[in-house]
Amino acid sequence: MGSGKLEGEAKVTIVTLLFEAVRASLLRLPTPATQADVVLAKWAEDGNPYEVVADAITSPLHSTAYRPTQVLADEGAYFFVVDGTATAVSKLDYQVHNTPPEINAIWERKTKEEIQILRCANEVWL
């Protein structure tokens, strides 16, 4: 019957605007090994992010024997972004779902530098 342990391999792609790529690359994700499996898919503001998502899904960087069937979207994402992504990936037989709380918690973490910036902003605005 087995030990009940799930085994698998995470393939994470962060889709980000080009000007946010540096910040996105600095995110420390709770991965079991290294961040080598994290891929940044970037698009310029005048580009088509939906094509970037579809390309990232079919990228050889993410080739695996397991074929996933879902894309996770942040609950705070604009509807038109989620809708456009859902349309683009539906052609690949994927579905878009909201991210689980464990993933949303990643964005709540702040570095010491980010906390200092927030404190400074609060002092200026108070």
What the chain holds in terms of domains, given with CATH numbers, is 12-125 (3.40.350)
pLDDT-based confidence at residue 123 (cuts at 50, 70, 90):
confident
pLDDT value of position 71 = 79
Q: Which two tokens stand for residue 105?
A: 């918690």
pLDDT value of position 120 = 82
pLDDT digits (tens, 9 = 90+) for 61-77: 555 555 667 778 877 88
pLDDT top residue among 92 and 10: 92
pLDDT value of position 124 = 66
**Phi and psi torsions of 9, nearest 5°:** -135, 130
Which pTM value belongs to this model?
A: 0.51
50 with 87: CB under 8 angstroms?
yes
